[in-house]
Structures are given as structure tokens and as C-alpha cells.
Structure 1
Amino acid sequence: MTTDAPPLDPRVIALAHYAGRAVLESVLARHGLTFQQSVTLRLAALADGPVRREELAGGVTGALKTGAAEAHAVIDELVTAGLLAPQDTAGLRITDAGREAYARTSGETAPHSARIYAGIPEEDLAVAGRVLTLITRRAEAELAALAG
């Protein structure tokens, strides 16, 4: 790794996040999906079977740091698109079309991610993971304090 890199700070983290997100959004756009829809669809795809709507909305608000109304709007968009479907009275399930969209966009994104992370030593990735996890926990605590 280079030694002339800037120290880790909010700007460096934001630049890395937005660069990676732009790659993902380029793939998603080809499939008519937004970043928010992708996050929501991923949560539904990884669930063991149907998920309660409130649980899914909670996962979206937690992941995206957005309000419940916005999360429910994204869920409604995915239901309208046929990627999620109602299940029982308060549940949702991912449809075959939703599972296919998730698999297709994940598959198309994987080679980009592999190239982005290629050549970075495992030890560096482990340190970065620990540091970013700590920063995330602290930021979430600050956000909770601001809201509280």
C-alpha cells in the first residue's frame, strides 16, 4: 500500500462509499432498480422465508438511516414492481422475479467488487473492517443521542 495516502477521516470514508455506491448504482440502473430498492430487496432475499413488513421496514431504516415512511414507500415500490408480494396478513415474501433481480444484480456487481478489492492484503482488510465497524457503532450512538 502507498504511504502517501491521507489518514482515515470522514471525507476519505465518504469518498470510498460514494465511489463504490456509484458502481453499484450503474449496475442497478440497467435493471430499473434504485439503491434503496436494492438494499430492501437484499434484506428480503436473505431472510429465511416471509418477513413481517415492519421488520423489513426496520431493517431498511437501520441500514439506510432513513425514516419509516421512506422505508415503507420503497417496500410499496417493490410490491408494485412484483419483486415483493404480500404473504399472510402482515408479511412479505420475495417473488421469483425479485430473487432473480437480486441474483442478477449481485452477480453483475461481484466482478466490479473483486477488482476494487484485488491486491489489498487480508490483514489490511481486517483492520479496515474493525475500524469501520467501530466508527459505525460510534456514529450510530451519536445519532441515537441526537434523536433522544
Structure 2
Amino acid sequence: MSATPSVNGQIIGQAHYATRAVLERLLATTGTTFHQSVALNATADHGAAKERAGLVDRMTGTLKIDAEVAETVLAELAAAGLVEEVPGDTARIALTAAGRERQEAHRAGIAEITARLYGDLPTADLAAAGRVLTEVTARANAVLAGI
């Protein structure tokens, strides 16, 4: 019988890339990139239009990308008719009907994937993993902030 490996960067990375590959397969069915899906989700949060600067900050902080890359992603979504500037308030962005439909389709697909990947795992294990990964993320962000 083999021992259960301890959590380390390699284990976390393997889980990240495996689950991201599953997600990207889902996103590919609609021609959506991972970065675009993050932007759609961030724009959909709480259903109201979002400040462009706040979306860019969220994307750069979450994805660890430059602001220029985040702006390019928002421009791609606008060109595809999935987001639009709020009329009379170019600093705010909202989902279009097509953007909302795509984001909701992704959310439904992700719910199915999540059930398959996590559904039968013990709740206590998931809670412990969540606490550990949240702390590792905070520590990594602190290291990045100090660089």
C-alpha cells in the first residue's frame, strides 16, 4: 500500500492543471478562453454593472496578469458582443444578453464538473483543503507583494 502524499506545490499544481484542462475543454465548446471566463464571471457577480477598473484589478489579482492583458480580454469580450459599456457611463461594464447566456451555460457546466470531481469527497476533507489552500494563496500573494 502506498502512502498518501503530503500536500506540496507539485501536488497542488497537478490538481490545478488537471482541473483547468477539464474546464478548458468545457470552455472550448463556446470558443471562450480561460481569461474570458474569469472576466465573464467577475462581470456577472451580483448581477449589476461593474466598474471597469475593479474588473481589471480583480483579473490582475486573481490571474496574476498585467492590466494590459486584462484590458485586452475585456476588449475581446466586447468585440464578441458578450459585454458592453453602460450607456452614458463608459467606466462601467455589464454583460449583454448573449454574455449572460454564455456565463450561465458555463456555470451549469462547471456545476456538473464540480459534482463529478468533488461530490463524493468527505466534507471535512474539503474544508481542510480549502483552509490550507486559502492560507497558501495568502502567503504566496504576500511574497509577490514583497518582490
What is the TM-score normalised by the length of structure 1? 0.94
Seen in structure 2, the aligned counterparts of structure 1 residues 134 and 3 have a Cα distance that, compared at 3 Å, is: farther
The aligned residue for residue 52 of structure 1 is: 51
- Cα distance, 1:119 vs structure 2: 1.7
What fraction of aligned residue pairs are identical, expressed as a percent? 43
Instruction: Show the counterpart of 2:142.
Output: 141
Counterparts of 1:37 and 1:30 in 2: how far apart (Å)? 13
Kindly indicate whether residue 108 of structure 2 is the aligned counterpart of residue 85 of structure 1. no
Q: List 4+ stretches of structure 1 deviating above 4 A.
A: none
- Residues 40, 29 of structure 1: alpha-carbon distance in 2 compared, 3 angstrom cutoff: same
Identify the residue that residue 125 of structure 1 maps to in structure 2. Answer: 126
Aligned-residue Cα RMSD (Å) equals: 1.3
The equivalent of 1:109 in structure 2 is 110
**Residues paired across the two proteins, number:** 145
Match of 1:28?
A: 27
Secondary structure of the 1:86 match is strand
Which residue of 1 is the match for residue 42 of structure 2?
A: 43
Q: CA deviation at 1:6?
A: 1.1
1:75, 1:9 → 2: CA distance?
34
Once the two structures are TM-superposed, the CA of residue 48 in structure 1 deviates from its matched residue by 4.3
- Structure 1 unmatched runs, 5+: none
User: How far did 1:89 drift?
Assistant: 2.5
Shift of 1:47: 3.9
